[in-house]
Structure 1
């Protein structure tokens, strides 16, 4: 059995090695490293290795060439699993790094390797932030040693991924921006997918839900990713699309997800279909969806002082006891649902009173008017506000005109309409024309695929 080693014994061995000629010292130190790592008793391994490292690094009698060779061998042995105990190996690496820190410039290669090993150990313990900090300490651009750009890119991406595990999106975005500058430095498919996933998750944490939904959906088609992970990415895309601000851009993303044949197998398909079809969402459906959200997706939102002031203006009419007193949405989900229900109501009603909209959205009448005004100002809702009669008038979108003009492969068709002075009749006629044009488009697609045959009727 190998000796356990004591401080006195270790000092004696190091003194004996110091008396050897320079050409013999390297072999002696390497043999001592092997002897320490081979001990059955692990009680004194950490102290003896630190003493050995301190001797070869800080003693003027040991040349830099010898110390680097000894440290390289020690780092190699640690990396290849000579120390099986997880906690002991971590403790040894941390001790060696403390000794090397004052002279890190002379041992950058060895320190970098030790930091990678320590980060692996911390990641295995799910100490995400600590692992990221260890990697942050690696010198990527020094005068004596500079890593290739593709290696820097991989390190930045790993730091971002670790920080996002602990939901530190602010610091993660800093390192993501550094990685973005090097995104063209690698052709490795796995690394590129990790980069895109980090981009989607950062957008998610930053509440840029529309961009996050598009990135998640794009990744859900990647064949390199496991089927179960792709399903999870698609589910994340649906969640972000639901939380995105209501408007034409979100409608396009919802349409893309709704038409994805894989979406019907998701638990969130019900709320996706209702949002795509512009159905009003009910409280029970919202509560069920809320239970699936992550903490950052349930973040509280603050109402601006101007909106709060506008939402608390007293109505001239006395308020009903049952009317809501809420002056605005309280969470991200709350806002998304209110904006959706407001947009959905514009598809159902020609106009609605402030009080009626407030009852629909669970807001005070003034707060409902404020939400509608902001959406109209931002181009996400087509309509006008009559503050005298306390009405919101909804207008038909230009999308209907475009669909009617281009459907059926007719291209740009100029239409002339007679001004009858009856706006609701014109709107009804427009809906009939749009429906007829859509039916014509469906028939043409079916005929092109040979699913139906056109019959010529002779008179």
Structure 2
């Protein structure tokens, strides 16, 4: 092989390109593949490093080699992978002269690694591509495809921190994209980034939106709908989550999901039991079971014990000072919100027993939710009571049903069945009152 390469180096520039290309086909077409890798390595090193081979000839030869490797002429996948890696390593020091060929080889190597499910390795290979400079300018649409692919690969290995860096780069170019497939992949990455970043409300909304896209496979749409329900359940309790839950609850497709039971209980403000939570926990991904830390201030506030003798007859207090996981926190906040629909007030100790927290931790959680506007109520620290407030609409309706005004039948907004039942009772009472009031005081009925 060395003698053959030395001979070709002495050939004129016009014949060199065709001669080297013919040698490539000869090497790859041999029945014995044992010497293919060292022979191709020697050829590439000769083309790249020797001054007797010009830059134009070098690019012509390497472009042909890259084309052959990309067309699948080499049937053995391991041999093809080795050839691509070795050729890439040989050209890399001269990347300024052969940038286009290096980029194409990197895309090929990324394809091979992705087929082998080496997600992070494939992403790192793509990160080395030169997108902002080179022999030909790369269009924004092509750059966007590369960035979205890197994000998707990193998320497969749950490397959300590095994925967010490339997602931000993609976000700057998405306005110039016209390819529907790339835009859908970007939106899916957007939802997954929010999911991994524990922005569960945003993730649920985006997953639900994607579950309606007809261009996506039906099984994938079902998977996105399931992800939307999961993120909605994990989101912080409050009005915003209630809107997402309502939207999902009204979606007729969710009734077939295995998580429908917990979705319906959360939408209807039912208290969740430990067995139901355990069943749901089995469906979560590792990042959705991440541990959460309790701040030193919250730990200090939560460690206080209730020494009030009036609480002696109340349930024994737990020793837990706060939720341990994202799911734990979501369930506790939901149960706290659900208890506000049942009770007018509750003691710190009673709420702690309901949430499996110390009285101080239960007070801390209620205080935070009230501060953030996710729970309507007030705290009486002297009597160790939490007072819950109903919505203004309910207060007004109660006043009208008591005779202070008229009750009008409201549009059905999908409210929990208990609230709708209450509204029907108020409406019936108001109608009975309207029928009875016009009777004059002197009216009398005939006897018998």
Is TM more than 0.5 here? yes
Which residue matches 2:319? 325
1:305 and 1:104 mapped to 2: Cα distance? 53
> 1:32 and 1:354, CA in 2 relative to 1: closer, same or farther beyond 3 A?
same
Q: Show CA shifts across 1:270-308 (max 9, x none).
A: 000000000000010000000000000000000111111
Residue 53 of structure 2: aligned partner: 62
**Cα deviation code 1:87-131 (max 9, x no counterpart):** 111111111111111100100111111001000000000000000
Matched, 1:365 2:364: no
Contact kept in structure 2, 1:108 and 1:145, CA below 8 Å: no
Specify every segment of 5 or more residues in structure 1 that has no aligned partner in the other structure, as ranges.
1-9, 405-424, 443-459
Deviations 1:120-174 (A, max 9, x none): 0000000000000000000001154321000000000000000000000000000
Kept after mapping to 2: 8 A contact 1:149/1:185: yes
The alpha carbon displacement at 1:184 in A equals 1.2
Does structure 2 conserve the Cα–Cα contact (< 8 Å) formed by 1:354 and 1:392?
A: yes
Indicate the residue corresponding to 1:352 in structure 2: 346
- Alpha-carbon distance between aligned partners in 1 of 2:294 and 2:410, rounded to the nearest angstrom: 43
Q: Is the 8 A contact 2:238 2:375 kept in 1?
A: yes
| SS of match in other structure, 2:202 | helix
How far did 1:25 drift?
Answer: 1.4
Contact kept, 8 Å, 1:400 with 1:434, in 2: the verdict is: no
Shift of 1:185: 1.3
- Which residue, 122, 137, 140 being the options, matches 1:131? 122
Residues 398 and 441 of structure 1: is their aligned pair in 2 closer, same or farther, counting only changes over 3 Å?
Answer: same
Q: How many residues align?
A: 411
Counterparts of 1:441 and 1:312 in 2: how far apart (Å)?
40
Shift of 1:435: 8.9
Secondary structure of 1:106's partner?
coil
- Measured in 2, the distance between the counterparts of 1:231 and 1:285 equals 22
1:203 alignment partner in structure 2: 194
- Contact (CA 8 Å) 2:304, 2:359: kept in 1 or not? no
Show structure 2 runs of 5+ residues with no match: 416-448
Is the aligned partner of 1:295 residue 2:286? yes
Partner of 1:387: 381
Tell me the TM-score normalized by structure 1.
0.86
| 1:302-356 deviations in Å (ceiling 9; x for gaps) | 0111111110123223687942010000000000000000000001111111111
Output one character per residue of 1:222-254: Cα deviation in whole Å (capped at 9) or x when no partner.
000111111110000000000000000000000
Whether contact under 8 Å (2:346, 2:385) holds in the other structure is yes
CA RMSD, 1 decimal? 2.1
Please state how far the C-alpha of 1:436 moved relative to its aligned partner.
4.4
